[in-house]
Amino acid sequence: MPVEYVFFVVFGLFAASLLFKVIKHGGLRGAMFGAPVGRMISEMQLEKRGMVKTKLKIHLLDPREPAFGPHVGVEVIQSTFGSWEMKPITLSREEAQQLADHLMVAARESANGSARSR
């Protein structure tokens, strides 16, 4: 079997797998999160740092098995003049609550000026 055929077989399997996930999870974004996206909860434009723009989108996911999740999707989008990148982060209910708690502690401590240099 020529090497070219192996390449096409591997590429075909990869494409078929991606297509299956897109259909199963209701779109490309759902395939990236591993669960269908129910609705977007919020969108937040972060302060521009240099040439990089960052946007956070929080999604409520609709997993097929609600007991196992994932339940919350965080979409991190970074873009510059010539590039665009999206990173999906999936969280269970407990992980989402822990993240919210940690962010609250960090925000409270930074407001009190108690950040320490290490």
| Residue 63 banded pLDDT, cuts 50, 70, 90 | confident
pLDDT on residue 31: 86
Per the domain annotation, does 47 fall within a domain? yes
Closest CA to 90 of 116, 66, 70, 110: 70
Average pLDDT, the chain: 88
* Higher local confidence (pLDDT), 3 or 57: 57
For residue 39, the enclosing domain spans 3-112
Per the domain annotation, does 49 fall within a domain? yes
CB-facing half-sphere around the CA of 69: CA atoms within 13 A: 13
Query: How many domains does one find in the chain?
Result: 1
Per the domain annotation, does 118 fall within a domain? no
Per the domain annotation, does 7 fall within a domain? yes
Distance CA 25, CA 62 (A): 9
| Burial class of residue 86 in the structure, from the number of CB atoms within 10 Å of its CB (0-12 exposed, 13-18 middle, 19+ buried) | middle
Residue 27 region by backbone torsions, left for phi larger than 0, else alpha for psi between -120 and 50, else beta = left
